[in-house]
Structure 1
Amino acid sequence: MLRGAGFAALALTAAFTLSACAPGAEANEEQAAPAETTVTITDNHGEVEVPVNPERVVALDNHVFETLDEWDVPLVAAPKGIMGTAWPDYTDDAEVADVGTHREPDLEAIVAAQPDLIIGGYRFSESYDTIVEQNPDAAVIEIAPRDGEDPMEELKRETEILGQIFDREDEAAEITSELDQSIADAKQAYNGTDSVIGLITSGGKIEFAAPVTGRSVGPVFSALGLKPAIEQQAEDTSHGDDISVEAIAAANPDWIVVLDRDASFAEPEPGAVPADELIAGSEALQGVTAVEQDQIVYLDSDFYLTEDIQAYTELYEQLQEAFAGA
């Protein structure tokens, strides 16, 4: 009996051993392996270890709201004062704490939200050191486009980093691919010779958005190889530079691309006038080719709030359609 029991036990042990060595066993072990809980990304300051799919996220950078909203990423706090009505999933949600605006930030609201991840930067870049100090248990990153780098490549980089953090790398690749395609299509539609001027309107004034370095419209020149109607470096990269309607008329651009800052806000600045009234309705500009031929492209009304990869993709698609129809 003892010998038989010993043999049976030995046989059972051998069976388990063979089973463990079976071809499918290793694969099952791999399938059972836990998913990565953190990922090391390189932000604007260096390498940072951040949680994958963090549960409590604070976002302060306008460039990321659209992507996070598309991916159904909940936020525990956001700067509702500079979000307008573009992201109601966040601004209308009472559970999302209001960080206010970059001019009057409520940084204590971030602390109270007990975040795992804080996506700072852009308008909130001056608060970075304070945010890091006040939230020692959170990963704090800044991934907004960096000065001196190609703006479109920076938007793609930002999207790819978000894809790593939220385990959405395929979706991030699709978003960046759509931007590349929209640029290629707009380039193909542009004839390469028409002159273009970028303008910003606000508070009843027209400002000049310098090629390449000007706010919002500037990067479009380098991305599409547009011919500037006026060659000039930006003095004010945020709000645009002074320009007279006479100077615009003298430049006689074939195309005008316009950002209406006031259109982004439910309560525009005092003296605000719609961009089309300021430009198409200007008596001094009636002889300008762009006005005569109705070759004026107005950016989406929320563009000043967003300036994200989706906004630029839509703008390039808009320009492609305009150029192709001219």
Structure 2
Amino acid sequence: MTKKLLTLFTAMLFLGACQAPASETTESTSVAVDKETVMITDVAGEKELPYQPERVVVYDYGMLDTMDALGLTENVIGTATNNPPAYLADTVAELENVGTLKEPDMEKLITLEPDLIIISARLEDFAPQLEEIAPVLQITVDQADYWASVQGNINTIAEIYGVDAESKLADLETEITELNEKTAKFADQEALLLMLNDGAMSAFSTGSRFGQVFDVFGFQPVDVAIDSSTHGQTVGYEGILEINPDILFVVDRSQAIQADAESQLQLLDNEFIKKTNAAMNDRIITLSPDLWYLSGGGLESVHLMIEEISAALD
């Protein structure tokens, strides 16, 4: 009897030992399932997106350059490839064309079967249709709070992939501080940004599409009420002379959207423009149109913007 009890007791211990790993396996599987998705909040609200998606289509160059800077390019399969900004040309050349920044190629998207589609405000109206193909991340840059908005978008990408963007954001913060130290020397000078397009001119100031020039990079805006709409406020030669900026930034939209378009800089060859303080003091700064109009808000594009303005001040 004693031997039988001993044998039974040993068998029970053996069975208990065999069952323990099963519990650990179940717990491990549960953790893995939790990591299949991640909860984020975008402009459309809180949503569940795939964690570390392997097939991503990106319709925003700022987010594309962010993924590139974070070492995530291999996860991108498509973007708008017809007219990318020059600094992304090599990256885009390796990707599938999925339409334009304003109109997606639905048939191509269905063929590619992406795990995630990233869009900006340009494609907001297409979001419901795109959701039928894959989960959609809608990002936007809030010009009323530019830097916080940019950081939020970059951190969202980092969260989706479980990577750390803090050191790169800290580097950008340092670059902004250093630029502010330079622009502080021009605190007594008022600046205006002018967009040229198809023979017309539009003015931009604080809180606008290019508001980071003033709100983040530190330039003093002109003391004039200027419409902060997406397309800026139409202005003529006499109006520019009346505003009389000390510093004039220029973006040629025509060349941004069509690389072989005739340069609009000829519009500045005008007697009214030549009489402005900006012209007389050689403070008309021409910005890279593809960078400023087509991109922005990403780790690389913000860096390049800072770099360009800093070089112009030197």
Q: TM-score range by the shorter chain?
A: 0.7 to 0.9
Paired with 1:174 and 1:300, the residues of 2 have a C-alpha distance of 27
Is the 8 Å Cα contact of residues 204 and 226 (structure 2) preserved in structure 1? Answer: no
Paired with 1:320 and 1:267, the residues of 2 have a C-alpha distance of 25
Aligned to 1:261: 253
Q: If the length of structure 2 is used for normalisation, what is the TM-score?
A: 0.79
Aligned to 1:199: 194
Is the 8 Å Cα contact of residues 65 and 301 (structure 2) preserved in structure 1? Answer: no
Paired with 1:235 and 1:221, the residues of 2 have a C-alpha distance of 13
Is the 8 Å Cα contact of residues 121 and 128 (structure 1) preserved in structure 2? Answer: no
Is the 8 Å Cα contact of residues 84 and 265 (structure 1) preserved in structure 2? Answer: no
Counting aligned pairs with the same residue, the percent is: 24
Alignment of 1:277-296 (within 5 A): 277-279=266-268, 281-296=269-284
Q: If the length of structure 1 is used for normalisation, what is the TM-score?
A: 0.77
Code of the residue aligned with 1:54 in structure 2: it is P
Deviation at 1:231, TM superposition (A): 1.6
Worse overlay, 39-48 or 258-267 = 258-267
* Ranges in structure 2 where 5+ consecutive residues have no aligned partner: none
* Ranges in structure 1 where 5+ consecutive residues have no aligned partner: 21-25
Q: 1:220 aligns with which of 210, 213, 217?
A: 213
| 1:166 matched to 2:154 | no
CA offsets, 1:284-324, max 9 Å, x none?
3223222222222222242211122332333234334544x
**CA, structure 1 residues 144+181, in 2 after alignment: closer, same or farther (shift >3 Å)?**
same
CA offsets, 1:196-227, max 9 Å, x none?
111111224332123322x3x32321224532
Code of the residue aligned with 1:299 in structure 2: it is L
Paired with 1:267 and 1:224, the residues of 2 have a C-alpha distance of 27
Is the 8 Å Cα contact of residues 84 and 266 (structure 1) preserved in structure 2? Answer: no
CA offsets, 1:47-103, max 9 Å, x none?
22222221111112232111123332332332224535543345423x62x222255
Q: 1:316 aligns with which of 301, 306, 313?
A: 306
RMSD: 3.5
Paired with 1:188 and 1:58, the residues of 2 have a C-alpha distance of 38
Is the 8 Å Cα contact of residues 198 and 211 (structure 1) preserved in structure 2? Answer: no
| 1:307 matched to 2:296 | yes
Paired with 2:197 and 2:67, the residues of 1 have a C-alpha distance of 29
Is the 8 Å Cα contact of residues 69 and 87 (structure 1) preserved in structure 2? Answer: no
Aligned to 1:251: 243
**CA, structure 1 residues 314+104, in 2 after alignment: closer, same or farther (shift >3 Å)?**
closer
Aligned to 2:141: 145
Alignment of 1:66-105 (within 5 A): 66-70=65-69, 71-93=72-94, 96=96, 98-105=97-104
Number of positions where the alignment pairs a residue of Structure 1 with one of Structure 2: 299
Paired with 2:179 and 2:122, the residues of 1 have a C-alpha distance of 29
Paired with 1:53 and 1:248, the residues of 2 have a C-alpha distance of 49
Aligned to 1:187: 180
Secondary structure of the residue that 1:87 maps to in structure 2? Answer: helix
Code of the residue aligned with 1:88 in structure 2: it is A
**CA, structure 1 residues 268+181, in 2 after alignment: closer, same or farther (shift >3 Å)?**
same
Aligned to 1:232: 225
**CA, structure 1 residues 224+77, in 2 after alignment: closer, same or farther (shift >3 Å)?**
closer
Secondary structure of the residue that 2:251 maps to in structure 1? Answer: strand
Secondary structure of the residue that 2:39 maps to in structure 1? Answer: strand
Paired with 2:212 and 2:154, the residues of 1 have a C-alpha distance of 18
**CA, structure 1 residues 225+87, in 2 after alignment: closer, same or farther (shift >3 Å)?**
closer
